[in-house]
Amino acid sequence: MAETLPSALTSLIHQYLAKARASGKSINDLRGVALYNSQKDALLTSLPAFEAAVDFVGQLPKLAERFGDVAKHITLQFAYQCAAKLDDLKANDNAFEDVWEDFVEEIEDPNWTFYGVANLKHFACDEDGIELGDDVSVIGRCFSTLASLGFHSFALERLEEDCMSGFGLSSFVLLVKECVPKSPTNFAFSNSPTTVTKALRAIGALRLIERGDVRIGPMFFINASRIQPPSGVSIQGISIPAFGSDYKWHPQLLMRFRTIYAQLEKLERTGYGTAPGNLDIALRSFMSTYDRWPTARDQQLIDAITALEALLGTNVEISFRLAFRVASLVASTGTERGELFQKTRDFYDARSKFVHGEPVERKQQETLGNLDQLLDTVRILLRSFVGVAADPPAGYARSMFKGGSLDKSLLIDDERAKLRQLLRIEAA
């Protein structure tokens, strides 16, 4: 036990229960979250012991430093959480001391702990859970586990509704944890901005290392405080009702995931100034192939070609030069280069038809059926360019991709091989 329940709070709780009995209240009437209902709070604030309890709480060491001027809120919440420990209106000092111990521990803890959880869609895995790193994990959808972290019924019910939407249902959720130093400015926060950033980064990294239409539904955020702050649950995002193929996780992907995740995190901090082409635009366009609503193959094609143009595009002879650059960098042999060159041109021509509203012929429809091949090519180049931008190798310069210098290098076998090695294309 951290310390005995102070007399100022003992008197408040006993008066609270006595007044409830006299007023014909039930124990359910005494539970809740402070500052949400001033009429409910009045049952406490009108008690003779209330001001003395607030004065005592306000003098607690570190309270003002970490929480701000919230002594009234803390006092109210303490009473509500004591009531939550009871089955009836009879006092239980042992239960009250347990609540007090929680409050003392929370005040002593210098950090808030935030959690975010979202359903994973189109995700297949033979493992029970995956520790992805950076306090990001994939776990089975177990509501008792989530409740033990602090997610209450509102969030869990919404999570269940989303997982039953029928699109890409899996048995897993993405769970993100973030610890943030306490300060008066974030007392009422239910999440940290970096929590959702980590979640989106993790989904992006998954998409960059393997095929599969992995998505997340709306994300629910909580502050897992022992003292319920006046923030409740916040929600970000929507569930995109899209059909797709399963993302098949296997253990060999973990190191690749952690590598690309760390590289993306670095670029978010340092910027994309060293990247070939417009890497940030390319990444956003690639992610749009998953997230744009309504989902349509022609729009995915347009987004994928936009990503290639951002990486390797030119403003003259666009179709030919883009296909030449893509094929020369990605393909290993002459035969493979020829095939990839033609496929990329076909994808680009189909994209032009869709963009300009021209009649779509059978050839373009067949091209859409091979869209996964285009996305694989984009994925390879993005992984390579993210790695180069995050950790530029010796001999690399962004100027290598400007003007005609890239095309010239790609025409010379030795220089093309050196460039592919420099960009780590073969390792992609």
Nearest to 176 by CA among 202, 210, 209: 202
Per-residue model confidence (pLDDT) at position 1? 37
**pLDDT mean by block of 10 residues, the chain; 428 residues:** 79 96 94 84 95 96 94 95 95 95 95 95 94 98 94 90 83 96 90 92 98 94 84 81 89 97 97 93 97 89 96 87 96 95 95 88 88 97 96 92 88 94 76
Q: Which helix (H) or strand (E) element contains residue 146?
A: helix 143-149
The dihedral sign for the CA sequence 277, 279, 285, 290: positive
Q: Which helix (H) or strand (E) element contains residue 380?
A: helix 371-390
The dihedral sign for the CA sequence 119, 125, 126, 132: negative
Instruction: Please tell me the distance from the alpha carbon of residue 154 to that of residue 143, in angstroms, as a whole number.
Output: 12
Q: Are 176 and 135 in contact (CB under 8 A)?
A: yes
Per-residue model confidence (pLDDT) at position 426? 65
Per-residue model confidence (pLDDT) at position 404? 81
Per-residue model confidence (pLDDT) at position 87? 95
Q: Where are the domains of the chain?
A: 7-108, 111-248, 271-422
Q: Which residues of 275-297 are buried (b: 16+ CB within 10 A; e: fewer)?
A: bbbbbeebbbbbbbbbbbeebee
Instruction: Please tell me the distance from the alpha carbon of residue 20 to that of residue 43, in angstroms, as a whole number.
Output: 8
pLDDT in tens, 107-144: 999 999 999 999 999 999 999 999 999 999 999 999 99
Confidence (pTM): 0.91
* DSSP conformation letters of 157-221: HHHHHHHTTSSS--SEEEEEEEEEE--GGGTT-S--HHHHHHHHHHHHHHHHHS-S--EE--EEE
Per-residue model confidence (pLDDT) at position 428? 44
Per-residue model confidence (pLDDT) at position 263? 98
Longest dimension (CA), the chain: 93
Instruction: Please tell me the distance from the alpha carbon of residue 107 to that of residue 60, in angstroms, as a whole number.
Output: 9
Q: Are 360 and 354 in contact (CB under 8 A)?
A: yes
Nearest to 304 by CA among 290, 286, 317, 284: 286
Per-residue model confidence (pLDDT) at position 230? 63
Instruction: Determine phi and psi for 384, rounding to 5 degrees.
Output: -65, -50
